[in-house]
Chain A
């Protein structure tokens, strides 16, 4: 186990080093949550009573959090394609390091980025008047990290399967559109017509969004939190398994 942790740490440190060398990555990563909150938050304020919430930011920040988590993570695989092209993945795979560690080390970086963004978002949310319980915040952030990790792992798996940015970009767009529209990230699905709400029941991410939202609102023992947790853990498990298996058998 300690070997595994050591290997993930080596991979993580390498990824972080390369990312920190890229100032755009740092600045855009930090600015994203700020822009969402400052430019989209005010739009929700007059609407918030219509969908039964009392505090616009308590409602909006969780959705934003999940969106950051999944959409940022979906793009994690792009850097992997560049590395693959330069033979880095092959060089790593010819060492005795665990294949899971090669993936998980990269996930650490994505999760760290997400955590920092989440903290910025939450602090800013507080500054703008969000009210949420501390245990709810912690649980909500944890769920976000799980779903973000799932998306990053899936993105890495997709990257190693397609090995082409040209294939990957449209695939991600194709996945992101329904996810964005059907998970109630920006507006709750409950205000839509019944058929749309029914359709969104089949979108796992919707349950995660609901879970994080309930958790921020303080309903820690609600069914929403339970289903959100179940889906996050499940998706995370599946994605890590998929990602590891592509690292194991990657063909060129």
Chain B
């Protein structure tokens, strides 16, 4: 559905007299198969939106080529536009115009007749839980309603490929969960291929069959969420030792189960290390600690997150995501794993997620 090779986009910026060239996208190769839901993940400024704008014909690539829905984005841009739906970050419906009017005009710009657009539009309003809002102005809608209206506009030409740029940014958790359902429906009910950008790890995790990670204009990883996580060795075990004097001893015990001598880090009363299959190994560790008379204040196990993947790929943490995952954290050894954004932030009590054993 999408094949891109060596996509490059450079911008020229000017600071005083100095002209600088910024390579916002620096040689992106990517392939998306029909029927896939692909998450395009990366921190702000990594080149997600710029890549998307090239794939949706809004921006001409500086170099490289791409075919979208079988058409070249440069020489066959009109056919590309007919085949895709695009929901931009900014939306697309004017806040001071009636929702229905905006949908009608948008659909008719595709050359569709008034009747066809109206039928489709009203049906989409029902499917997107927007019943009765046809005559309302977006400025009088909730964030979630407005976002769903944007999706309706993106679907009015019945595209086989839908691009969503940061679809849930700024939505409250309920509206977010609701929109996720609708995004899943795009594929499950409409059979559409979905390409969505996000800087939310849990979003990519929850929605995408496959994840592409972009950093500084380059794709650094492309695989399923599980495979990506498997590349990060082991679960993060975090012990908080009650007695400060016993910390070194506890570190030694933890090191004995981290396998091939992987690093154990000590910070204050915390001892951390990556343990393959922690669920099984912990039992022995706890008995061991007990025998040695080492008491714990808490113990946490984090399944590898996409943030860990990002960290291991780029050497940096995906800090942009920190705002997301609070409250979406899951407890010890639960399947699906902890979705905490930042694995370093467990030492302060206020940040300790639910599910911590005390």
A-to-B contact residues, CB < 8 Å = 3, 6-7, 10-11, 13-14, 17-18, 21, 82-83, 85-88, 90-97, 249-252
In the complex, residue of chain B having the shortest beta-carbon distance to the beta carbon of A248: B60
Instruction: Tell me, in angstroms, the Cα distance from A75 to B161 when the chains sit together.
Output: 38
Also in contact, A249 and B60, with CB within 8 A (given A91-B92, A91-B106, A91-B153): yes
Instruction: Tell me, in angstroms, the Cα distance from A249 to B102 when the chains sit together.
Output: 23
Whether B92 and A87, one on each chain, are in contact in the complex, defined by CB atoms closer than 8 angstroms, is yes
Whether A95 and B88, one on each chain, are in contact in the complex, defined by CB atoms closer than 8 angstroms, is no
Q: Which residues of A contact B94 (CB under 8 A)?
A: 18, 82-83, 86, 88
Whether B109 and A90, one on each chain, are in contact in the complex, defined by CB atoms closer than 8 angstroms, is no
Also in contact, A10 and B108, with CB within 8 A (given A85-B90, A86-B93, A96-B81): yes
Instruction: Tell me, in angstroms, the Cα distance from A13 to B105 when the chains sit together.
Output: 9
Whether A95 and B81, one on each chain, are in contact in the complex, defined by CB atoms closer than 8 angstroms, is yes
**Count class of interface residues, chain B:** 20 to 34
Instruction: Tell me, in angstroms, the Cα distance from A17 to B60 when the chains sit together.
Output: 33
Q: Is B111 close to A, CB under 8 A? A: yes
* Min CB gap A12→B, angstroms: 10
Q: Is B78 close to A, CB under 8 A? A: yes
Instruction: Tell me, in angstroms, the Cα distance from A237 to B91 when the chains sit together.
Output: 33
Choose among A82, A85, A95 the residue that contacts B106 (Cβ–Cβ < 8 A).
Answer: A95
Also in contact, A94 and B56, with CB within 8 A (given A13-B105, A14-B97): yes
In the complex, residue of chain A having the shortest beta-carbon distance to the beta carbon of B106: A91
Whether A97 and B97, one on each chain, are in contact in the complex, defined by CB atoms closer than 8 angstroms, is no
Instruction: Tell me, in angstroms, the Cα distance from A13 to B108 when the chains sit together.
Output: 12
Instruction: Tell me, in angstroms, the Cα distance from A250 to B94 when the chains sit together.
Output: 19
Whether B105 and A86, one on each chain, are in contact in the complex, defined by CB atoms closer than 8 angstroms, is no
Q: Which residues of A contact B92 (CB under 8 A)?
A: 86-88, 90-91
* Min CB gap B289→A, angstroms: 56
Also in contact, A18 and B97, with CB within 8 A (given A94-B84, A95-B81): yes
Return the CB mask of B63-91 against A: 1 if under 8 Å, else 0.
00000000000000010011010101111
23 A–B contact pairs at CB < 8 A? A10-B105, A10-B109, A11-B109, A13-B105, A14-B97, A14-B102, A17-B97, A18-B96, A83-B94, A86-B91, A86-B92, A86-B95, A87-B89, A87-B90, A87-B91, A88-B94, A90-B90, A94-B84, A94-B86, A96-B82, A249-B60, A250-B58, A251-B11
CB within 8 Å: A-B pair count: 78
Q: Is B281 close to A, CB under 8 A? A: no
Instruction: Tell me, in angstroms, the Cα distance from A215 to B106 when the chains sit together.
Output: 42
Interface on chain A toward B: helix, strand, loop, or mixed SS?
helix
* Min CB gap B2→A, angstroms: 15
Instruction: Tell me, in angstroms, the Cα distance from A3 to B59 when the chains sit together.
Output: 24
9 tightest A-B contacts by CB? A87-B90, A91-B92, A95-B109, A97-B109, A87-B91, A94-B86, A96-B81, A87-B92, A14-B105
Q: For the A-B complex with A11-B105, A94-B57 known, give 7 more contacts whose Cβ atoms are closer than 8 Å.
A: A10-B109, A13-B105, A14-B105, A86-B95, A87-B90, A91-B91, A93-B58
B-to-A contact residues, CB < 8 Å = 11, 53, 56-60, 78, 81-82, 84, 86, 88-97, 101-102, 105-106, 108-111, 150, 153, 157
Instruction: Tell me, in angstroms, the Cα distance from A199 to B346 when the chains sit together.
Output: 73
* Min CB gap A142→B, angstroms: 29
* Max chain A Cβ within 10 angstroms of own Cβ: one of B58, B88, B106, B109: B109
Instruction: Tell me, in angstroms, the Cα distance from A46 to B188 when the chains sit together.
Output: 79
Whether A251 and B95, one on each chain, are in contact in the complex, defined by CB atoms closer than 8 angstroms, is no
Instruction: Tell me, in angstroms, the Cα distance from A250 to B60 when the chains sit together.
Output: 10
In the complex, residue of chain A having the shortest beta-carbon distance to the beta carbon of B82: A96
Q: Which residues of B contact A83 (CB under 8 A)?
A: 94
Q: Which residues of A contact B150 (CB under 8 A)?
A: 87
Choose among A14, A82, A95 the residue that contacts B110 (Cβ–Cβ < 8 A).
Answer: A95
In the complex, residue of chain A having the shortest beta-carbon distance to the beta carbon of B11: A251
In the complex, residue of chain A having the shortest beta-carbon distance to the beta carbon of B60: A249
Instruction: Tell me, in angstroms, the Cα distance from A11 to B94 when the chains sit together.
Output: 13
* Min CB gap A64→B, angstroms: 31
Instruction: Tell me, in angstroms, the Cα distance from A17 to B96 when the chains sit together.
Output: 11
In the complex, residue of chain A having the shortest beta-carbon distance to the beta carbon of B57: A94
Q: Which residues of B contact A82 (CB under 8 A)?
A: 94
Whether A96 and B96, one on each chain, are in contact in the complex, defined by CB atoms closer than 8 angstroms, is no
Choose among A6, A10, A96, A252 the residue that contacts B53 (Cβ–Cβ < 8 A).
Answer: A252
